[in-house]
Chain A
Amino acid sequence: MIVAGVDVGSTTSKAVVLDDRRQIAGTSLLPTGANVVRAAERAFREALAASKRDESEAAYVIGTGYGRYKVAFGDDQVTEIGCHARGAQFLFPDTRTIVDIGGQDTKAIRISDRGEVLDFSMNDKCAAGTGRFLDACANVIGMTLDEIGPASMNAQKPIRITNVCTVFVESEIIAHLARGEKVEDILRGVHLAIGSRTAGLVRRVGTNPAVTFTGGVSRNVGMVQALEERLGVSVHVSPLSQWMGALGAALIALERVEGGAVHRIAAGGAA
């Protein structure tokens, strides 16, 4: 028996297949693109293929993330807040605060010692401080998203970035470049700016250690460092951080199966 969690984000779709011993059997990650339904389907299929298990073994599938209602083949949907909380608590049981920075939104979540969501705050109204902000900065500088984090760590004199708006920050960076400022100093400034903004969001729910950093942006080492600096505490980061929502969804699916009240609706419509 297996279960799956499918996290359809604004930018990437992720899936995790879990076996009945809570072991990760397979994962997938792909760009969401314009066709959200197909992205959800593909994420599930690719994770299944990676797990070398058959779809007929799947007892329960939960969709989460921005596109969770497009997981047409899923049995249920759970908010990404609940799933990130569950996933973070599974990987790091001492987690009390979760910082999730995704492609288009940022969330701070406070959880209990049992992984229940106690409070959360989020920014999904504007791209400031999200993956899109970093993406725009990388583009202007002519680097890839994977390069900017490590590059920022070579900064000697961080440049203060004053704009919050993603559109305006592009002009600000161009002006700094024109003035001859070093790319790594500008990048460090960009990461610190997002760190400050995120810390402000976290303060609304309280910075209770341990803090676990999830979402695609947590792969960026420069962002991890900047966040730790601005929060004043160290943060947990896992190679699975990007799959935290999908993992949490799969764990919740497994608990439901263990609870017994489960009926898998087959993808083709035939039960």
Chain B
Amino acid sequence: MITAGVDIGAGTTKAVLMDDAGRILVKVSERSGARLDAAGSRALAAVLEKAGLRREDIAYVAATGYGRYQLPERDIQITEVTCHARGASYLFPGTRCLLDIGAQSTRAIRVDDAGRVMRFRMNDRCAAGAGRFLERVARALEVPLDDLGPMSLHSADPQAISSICAVLAESEVISLVTSGKATEDILMGAHLSIADRALALLRQVGVDGEVTVTGGVVLNRGMLTALERRLGRTVNASPDTVYAGAIGAALLGFVRLRKLGEAR
């Protein structure tokens, strides 16, 4: 039996297929674009094609993320907090805290040993501390997004960014450039600024046990370094933690199926 998890985020949409042995069969990640309904269906079609399967072969489709209500093929929608918690615990069973830093929101979640949510805090009102903040800084510095992290690692003298607002930070970055500061130092400053915002949320739920980072920023080594530096300890992250929401949704799909079976 196979389930699908589709995580329709503000920036990217992720989809995975899992079998009942808990193995990830295929995974896909693509830009969401303006039409979130189309993004979810597109990602689902992409994983099916990759696996050589059809919609009928999938026992359950669970949607999560910002656009979870906009996937016509879904059997259920589950909040991203629940899905990320489950997905992070699947990938790193020792997880007790997780930070999900997405394009438009940041969440700090405390989980129990089964990956169930105990407490969470989030900021989805403003771009401060989320991926979009980095995108704006990258734009101001004319640095490709993928180079942000690697470049920031060369910083010797990180420049503090005092603006919390992503838009005002852009102007601040421009004035730092004008005053002759090195690009890598400004970049590390921006990463540290996001780390500070994210960790303030994490402290509100309490830092305990292993900390796992999920969301698009885990692909950015500079961001992970900034988080580890500010936290004073290592964090769990892997390229797969980008898919934590989708993985959690697929896993919860099995839980749901089992419950349906018992009810019958």
Contact = CB atoms under 8 A, between A and B. Distances in A.
A143 interface: no
A174 B174 CA distance: 26
A35 interface: yes
Contacts of A126: 126, 128, 164-165, 167-168
Contact of A167 (B34, B35, B132, B171): B132
A171 B104 contact: yes
A177 interface: yes
Contacts of B238: none
Contact of A168 (B127, B168, B174): B127
A18 to B, nearest CB: 31
Interface string B128-163: 100011001000000000000000000000000000
B207 interface: no
Interface residues of A, number: 21
A125 B104 CA distance: 19
B34 A127 contact: no
A175 interface: yes
Interface string B42-61: 00000000000000000000
A65 to B, nearest CB: 14
Nearest to B132: A167
Interface residues of B, number: 22
Interface in B162-185: 164-168, 171, 174-175, 177-178
B10 interface: yes
Contact of A178 (B34, B128, B177, B178): B34
A49 interface: no
B10 A171 contact: yes
Interface of B: 10, 34-36, 104, 125-128, 132-133, 136, 164-168, 171, 174-175, 177-178
27 contacts: A34-B174, A34-B175, A34-B178, A35-B178, A104-B168, A104-B171, A125-B164, A126-B126, A127-B165, A127-B168, A128-B126, A133-B167, A164-B125, A164-B126, A165-B126, A165-B166, A167-B127, A167-B133, A167-B166, A168-B104, A168-B126, A168-B127, A171-B34, A175-B36, A177-B34, A178-B34, A178-B35
